[in-house]
Structure 1
């Protein structure tokens, strides 16, 4: 959803009007009759079963793509085979760079469907612009709403939104630090204005709006929770649902959010490309939505229980992505042919590398009980050096907590690396407002 260039220079009431015009158009496109039909379909379907009919139709259509027609022929893919998954496995894994370089030859323009463009950069910084059909967009939002409805969230529930979009001009110095997107049922809070001096404005707006549902990046909601504690504001009892996306949920973030809002945050993994989707269930386990996307889990070189996630977006017939490398990693194991996801670990670059060659992930446990920190980031500038970047909380005591953090880090990183603490007033975010937990210069 893009806003006009003059949006930021307009008065607040004009900004709300412009935001709602875009909200109306987006809602109409996402949640029309096609969405309702797909939501009913997915609620009735089995997430553990691949929709073989849709997958086969998708592969047949993919032959209209110059890129895939050539690749099917090169690797002797037989679409008439009864074992269609075996045929897919003949194809090499597709990288994001390959997609960027061959985008014109991958896309199919002859699909009888409305086409929209999607722009995604992810955390790698490599921009990808691709097209999707209306049915793809409807199906993707249907899958996401199936997951929300399992927890009792209704489609008319107003959401307190903490995402990365810039919806309040950066030079605005007084409230309101939010905009109301009526058609999308979103009270959109600005991440760029949330700080110690404005947190009471955010908190009071949340209370007076009677918002029961928060959605956003884990880093932003954890930061909001930290500021509420720091300002001695009463923990909120009105929030019933907190859904998270776009970043990995770290253990210390989860504890902080739960302490302030009194509910367990709910995780979800999805990509704009639609090649994979993993939903948390009410019992806390994860479920792969195979009825939406075909996912493969390939052993990594990190450890026996860490796998690369490879996906096929068999609902987007206008831009087929087959065996696409998400560059994301998950921890889990196979039970017969089914894969059980234990945790979503993030990207390969979210791991640090020890001089021995060992790669370590899930290092958020260093800060598991560190409620005295606002934010933390791990930076690896060299193979034998780790820098822990820390933003102190109100209760941080250097004489006590420095030793605790170093001890926790040393237990996980061993004696091979030099570990330093670096204190910051704020950890820089990506252009989309995300917090990268690990930054490594090791190639």
Structure 2
């Protein structure tokens, strides 16, 4: 997930300030007040779904569900869960027939599950996302306008030659975008010099990208660089990654968990607790059996979320596919935030592609979002120059033209002499981890920074 401060995209200043004031108050409110706010928002969403969203109109009729029958948050369990499979099949029928279509924005899920799903958001949902990040960054001391760096893939990936575009600076927001595709030992100090010239105080990045960068800086003898805070997003942050990053940059790391679907957000406070952002979406914890959770000593719960703000494409009881361990100790957090706390997130871990030049690509799966006709994609690296690409195509939409375009984008990163074979498969043709989870990137090239896989 990436958020760039493009002022033109956030044209609801009153709604932004309203969200910020209310959500800040919710962090210090009692559970009953939080539930009242959530239920009022969800009741409006349910009425909208019945009237204007084809998928939910039919679902409510089929199960004899009426919005007025939902009298409290617990009553939401009367509504069937929304799985990723259903979303993939019904995504066009989940878009509202009413409102904001002339200002809507299409987002594509990042692809860590291999699925390319269109998510439509209205300006209210964009304001929601802006405020969520704004409050999160403030915990680390950030204020809009302070010098800020971000390691990014999606901004650079559609460039003709992404390996030649090292950075992009936005002077209006004082934001420095750094190309993750350029991370290698030879460029580490050049990145560091860019950060120093721009007087960067904060960094946002995927943990894997920042960990690799930190390893290179450590080899160069750099440490305790004196930043104010580092923000990690987009994938699980491992303990060993946090330790190295904090040592190199000399500051705290605050972690964020969210989804393109705009239903769940969890964010870390300065005391190391991962809080549920109760104003963002309604979060449910559904306990799973020992077999499903891996038969660990701790209890694991499926993470479900319900839309509270994006009526253009609302999700009710959406299963994120991730497992969490909630903190049920009831011990207050020293930060003063009274929202629910998650002790552990068991998310997906992607491998990192390494080129023969030593350059690493933590988010190469994004190339699948650029090609029409691909439902799911997977990149498998056998050695430094050998790659297998599995493609599950949409019927009659993926042909020789799309295959040539996919190869073009892959070779921009992997090199013209790389051996790349493309295989057309169905869902049974993908390779899976030992736990049965799909991974869009699998690499058999091991690095010192590689995280444990399943």
Q: TM-score of the superposition, structure 2-length normalised?
A: 0.68
Which residue of structure 2 aligns with residue 139 of structure 1? 128
Separation in 2 of the partners of 1:281 and 1:140?
Answer: 18
Separation in 2 of the partners of 1:46 and 1:295?
Answer: 15
Matching of residues 206-355 of structure 1 within 5 Å: 206-232=195-221, 234-300=222-288, 301-302=292-293, 303=296, 304-334=298-328, 340-347=341-348
Aligned: 1:90 with 2:78: yes
Separation in 2 of the partners of 1:182 and 1:118?
Answer: 26
Matching of residues 16-415 of structure 1 within 5 Å: 26-30=6-10, 32-33=12-13, 34-46=15-27, 49-50=34-35, 51=37, 52-63=39-50, 64-81=52-69, 83-112=71-100, 114-165=103-154, 167=156, 171=161, 177-232=166-221, 234-300=222-288, 301-302=292-293, 303=296, 304-334=298-328, 340-347=341-348
Q: CA deviation at 1:423?
A: 6.0
Separation in 2 of the partners of 1:333 and 1:256?
Answer: 26
Identify if the C-alpha distance between structure 1 residues 195 and 100 changes in structure 2 by more than 3 Å, giving closer, same or farther: same
The CA deviation string for residues 206-234 of structure 1, in whole angstroms up to 9 with x for no partner, is: 112110001111111111111011122x3
Separation in 1 of the partners of 2:255 and 2:121?
Answer: 25
Identify if the C-alpha distance between structure 1 residues 319 and 82 changes in structure 2 by more than 3 Å, giving closer, same or farther: closer
Separation in 1 of the partners of 2:11 and 2:147?
Answer: 16
Preserved CA contact (<8 Å) 1:239 1:261? yes
Q: CA deviation at 1:335?
A: 5.6
Separation in 1 of the partners of 2:162 and 2:278?
Answer: 45
Separation in 2 of the partners of 1:62 and 1:252?
Answer: 44
Preserved CA contact (<8 Å) 2:100 2:312? no
Separation in 2 of the partners of 1:133 and 1:172?
Answer: 30
Separation in 2 of the partners of 1:172 and 1:39?
Answer: 36
Separation in 1 of the partners of 2:446 and 2:118?
Answer: 35
Secondary structure of the structure 2 residue equivalent to 1:197: helix
Separation in 1 of the partners of 2:247 and 2:322?
Answer: 29
Identify if the C-alpha distance between structure 1 residues 67 and 235 changes in structure 2 by more than 3 Å, giving closer, same or farther: same
RMSD: 3.4
Separation in 2 of the partners of 1:150 and 1:426?
Answer: 32
Q: CA deviation at 1:343?
A: 1.5
The CA deviation string for residues 136-162 of structure 1, in whole angstroms up to 9 with x for no partner, is: 110122122112212321011221111
Separation in 2 of the partners of 1:375 and 1:60?
Answer: 44
Identify if the C-alpha distance between structure 1 residues 76 and 437 changes in structure 2 by more than 3 Å, giving closer, same or farther: farther
Separation in 1 of the partners of 2:217 and 2:267?
Answer: 29
Identify if the C-alpha distance between structure 1 residues 128 and 199 changes in structure 2 by more than 3 Å, giving closer, same or farther: same
Q: TM-score of the superposition, structure 1-length normalised?
A: 0.70
Preserved CA contact (<8 Å) 1:27 1:183? no
Separation in 2 of the partners of 1:436 and 1:27?
Answer: 37
Identify if the C-alpha distance between structure 1 residues 88 and 102 changes in structure 2 by more than 3 Å, giving closer, same or farther: same
Identify if the C-alpha distance between structure 1 residues 157 and 437 changes in structure 2 by more than 3 Å, giving closer, same or farther: farther
Where in structure 1 do 4 or more consecutive aligned residues deviate above 6 Å? none
Separation in 2 of the partners of 1:172 and 1:314?
Answer: 37
Separation in 2 of the partners of 1:134 and 1:171?
Answer: 32
Separation in 1 of the partners of 2:156 and 2:110?
Answer: 19
Secondary structure of the structure 1 residue equivalent to 2:285: strand
Q: CA deviation at 1:74?
A: 2.3
Preserved CA contact (<8 Å) 1:56 1:84? no
Which residue of structure 2 aligns with residue 394 of structure 1? none
Identify if the C-alpha distance between structure 1 residues 183 and 117 changes in structure 2 by more than 3 Å, giving closer, same or farther: farther
Matching of residues 410-421 of structure 1 within 5 Å: none
Secondary structure of the structure 2 residue equivalent to 1:290: coil
Q: CA deviation at 1:35?
A: 2.1
Separation in 1 of the partners of 2:21 and 2:109?
Answer: 28
In structure 2, the gaps of 5 or more residues are 331-338, 351-359, 363-381, 385-433, 435-443
Structure with bigger RCO (C-alpha 8 Å, 6+ apart):
2
